[in-house]
Amino acid sequence: MIEVRVRFFTDTHAPAGQILPKHGHAVGEVRLAKNAAHGIHPGKPIMFNSMSEVPYAIERALRDHEIKMHMSSRERRYRN
């Protein structure tokens, strides 16, 4: 399995040394987890600055690691 991690920044929401549970910025990073079976080694994280940039960041992370994604039969129906 190929694992993509999406991490949201949570700083500046609470006083110093404390956390505010279930609160975060719509800003963060996407990175691929190490997977020796697929030859994946973690690279530089791909940053995003809004929720609308998350799909692009995921696609870019996959491309940067030369991972080819194949469409499912359901997706092929809607793309043609």
CA-nearest of 31, 40, 33 to 60 is 31
Please compute the mean of the pLDDT values over residues 50-76 and round it to a whole number: 93
Share of the chain above pLDDT 70, in %: 99
Question: Apex CA 57: angle with CA 54 and CA 60, to 5°?
Answer: 150
- pLDDT reported for residue 80: 63
Q: Which residues pair with 64 in a beta bridge?
A: none
Question: Does 56 score more than 90 pLDDT?
Answer: yes
- pLDDT reported for residue 55: 96
Per-residue pLDDT reduced to its tens digit, 19-49: 889 999 999 999 999 999 999 999 999 999 9
Question: Which SS3 state, helix, strand or coil, does residue 6 take?
Answer: strand
Give me the chain's average pLDDT, please. 91
Give the chain's largest Cα–Cα span: 53
